[in-house]
Structure 1
Amino acid sequence: MSDSARMPAIFFGHGSPMNALEDNRYTQAWEAFGKQFPRPKAILAVSAHWTTRGTAVTAATAPVTIHDFGGFPQALFDVRYPAPGDPALAARVAELLAPLPVGMDQQWGLDHGTWSVLVKTYPQADIPVVQLSIDIEKPPAYHFALGQKLQALRDEGVMIIGTGNVVHNLRRLDRDASGQGWGWAARFNNAIRKYLQEGDLQGVVNYQSLGQDALLSVPTPEHFLPLLYILGSKAEGDVLDIPLDGMEMGAISMLSVVVS
């Protein structure tokens, strides 16, 4: 880590909600993250599963666990992640994003994009968590710029996490797929990974320039955009690492990125 006082920023390829219950190489890596880095004072999460018009943060003191999915075993609906909220952090986020208006949301809680990874990384659920919504009407560069404005939080004891998937096309899932999956998915994932390894963050922001592979891999943007907040929060001198990758069911990339 380039600065011992600076918290990392992490993009989790979160994949299936069932990862919250399972023990696999992805969840084992998430558990390792929780042990590898200093304990944060609080966590700011950007999840693929909270999209809005405009921008909002969760400001409740006790955010609820949201089970925003269907067709899974009852055990998954029984999971609770009772982390406290942090209204002061919500206000600080609004301050950093000014003059952008930021709503203080009392209704939304922690959706599965957030809790399915944190239940592995910080299973005690004793670190305050605030979620920031994704304004789905804005272009990729807008979200990268918001990440840049939030960078200061990392020097204030706050870990920033984004959860989504670089490739996420539920209509093209192949449950019998193994290895790299569909050619377009592998090509897109490899191209994004190459941009990351070369430090070409604008290449990632401009992912739509990858043409048909991008259209198939990112048919809707919400699972890709959380990555841009993490890249935007990268400070000068930070190291970017890709500790985890893999393609599930042909069309879901589990690539994860750590900025520290």
Structure 2
Amino acid sequence: MQKQPVLFIGHGSPRNAIDESGFSKALKEYGRSLRFNIPKVILCVSAHWFEDRFFITQNENSDIIYDFFGFKNDLSQFKYKYKGSKFWAQKIKEVFQSEQIEYDEERGIDHGVWSVLAHLFPDADVPVVQMSMNKNFGLEEHFRFYAKLRSLRNEGVLMIGSGNIVHSFAGLRENIDAKPYDWAYVFDEKVKKCILNYSIDELIHYENIGDCAKQSVPTLEHYLPLIFSMSLKEKNDKICFIYEGFQFSSMSMRSFAITDE
């Protein structure tokens, strides 16, 4: 088995799970390429699991979480019949040795995970484990913590950070294809350069990018999965953008893969 890539996916609205768009088509297309090196398990860090400590799901069977409201009924009827993995949850936890990580034996995967996997792995034929983020850790602490998982790429673990580089409800437009705000576009482009240059210090101290940073990242939870994904990049890895664009003017859907090819 070849080393697994690392993904960062800008997941946006949960309706991206069922609505057809340029974004969903791009994920489907990239998902087909993953069939040439099928992972043993998928480990996800999503914007929608932010706790006061680190947790990891440890169950074989669980339902997806409908962690949203205000959408049409067709979304709440969507199913993604995945399997968890107690074996891989334990193996992942062991990487951190003495550091405190707790099992969650009840929790399913949230929409930041299943809305993405619905396109990347529509057959739900790869086990899924989700790990939380920690409210008591800063960005640099998260980076050092998650970096310990790098070795698992060689063992068949596909790791996905699911959030949004720009995620603001301020001025959110109803038209999904509306032109992005200038501040959103500028921040997204500057972060893109940091990703390509592997400028970790700039990504961690994103607030120094300019006034656009505060508008683009009003809260940390959607930005943090980017730090997760970048912590897993190795020296000779390359960045391949899966999708670049915005939805509703203030949500960057920028998505990329980190590969050794």
Query: What TM-score, normalized to structure 2?
Result: 0.94
8 A contact 1:11–1:230 mirrored in 2: yes
Of residues 98-107 and 198-207 in structure 1, the stretch that sits farther from structure 2 once superposed is 198-207
8 A contact 2:58–2:85 mirrored in 1: yes
Q: Which residue of 1 aligns with 2:52?
A: 53
Query: Quick one: which of 17, 24, 30 aligns to 1:33?
Result: 30
Q: Distance in 2 between matches of 1:193 and 1:48?
A: 19
Secondary structure in structure 1 of the residue aligned to 2:29: helix
Secondary structure in structure 2 of the residue aligned to 1:134: strand
Give 1:19-30 correspondences, 5 Å limit.
19-30=16-27
Q: Which residue of 1 aligns with 2:84?
A: 85
Secondary structure in structure 2 of the residue aligned to 1:94: helix
How many pairs does the alignment contain? Answer: 257
8 A contact 1:180–1:246 mirrored in 2: no
Q: Which amino acid is the alignment partner of residue 25 of structure 1?
A: G
Q: Which residue of 2 aligns with 1:183?
A: 182
Q: Which residue of 1 aligns with 2:136?
A: 137
Of residues 157-166 and 229-238 in structure 1, the stretch that sits farther from structure 2 once superposed is 229-238
Q: Distance in 2 between matches of 1:186 and 1:179?
A: 12
Q: Distance in 1 between matches of 2:193 and 2:42?
A: 28
Give 1:198-209 correspondences, 5 Å limit.
198-209=197-208
The Cα of 1:176 is off from its aligned counterpart by 4.6
Superposed CA RMSD: 1.5
Q: Does 1:224 align with 2:223?
A: yes
- What does the per-residue CA deviation read over 1:158-180, in whole Å, with 9 as the maximum and x for residues that have no partner? 10001110000113312258565
- What does the per-residue CA deviation read over 1:11-42, in whole Å, with 9 as the maximum and x for residues that have no partner? 00111111111121111111122211211110
The Cα of 1:99 is off from its aligned counterpart by 2.4
Of residues 180-189 and 250-259 in structure 1, the stretch that sits farther from structure 2 once superposed is 180-189
Secondary structure in structure 1 of the residue aligned to 2:39: coil
Q: Which residue of 2 aligns with 1:7?
A: 4
Q: Which residue of 2 aligns with 1:113?
A: 112
Q: Which amino acid is the alignment partner of residue 197 of structure 2?
A: E
8 A contact 2:30–2:242 mirrored in 1: no
Q: Which residue of 2 aligns with 1:94?
A: 93
8 A contact 1:147–1:231 mirrored in 2: no
Q: Which residue of 2 aligns with 1:213?
A: 212
Q: Distance in 2 between matches of 1:134 and 1:208?
A: 20
8 A contact 2:27–2:242 mirrored in 1: no
Q: Which amino acid is the alignment partner of residue 229 of structure 1?
A: F
Q: Which residue of 2 aligns with 1:161?
A: 160
Q: Which residue of 2 aligns with 1:240?
A: 239
- What does the per-residue CA deviation read over 1:99-121, in whole Å, with 9 as the maximum and x for residues that have no partner? 22111101211100000010111
Instruction: Please list every run of 5 or more consecutive structure 1 residues that lacks an aligned counterpart in the other structure.
Output: none
- What does the per-residue CA deviation read over 1:68-122, in whole Å, with 9 as the maximum and x for residues that have no partner? 0011111110112121111111112211123221111012111000000101111
The Cα of 1:137 is off from its aligned counterpart by 2.7
Secondary structure in structure 2 of the residue aligned to 1:223: coil
The Cα of 1:55 is off from its aligned counterpart by 0.1
Instruction: Please list every run of 5 or more consecutive structure 2 residues that lacks an aligned counterpart in the other structure.
Output: none
Q: Distance in 2 between matches of 1:256 and 1:28?
A: 13
Q: Which residue of 2 aligns with 1:65?
A: 64
The Cα of 1:208 is off from its aligned counterpart by 1.9
Q: Distance in 2 between matches of 1:194 and 1:101?
A: 34
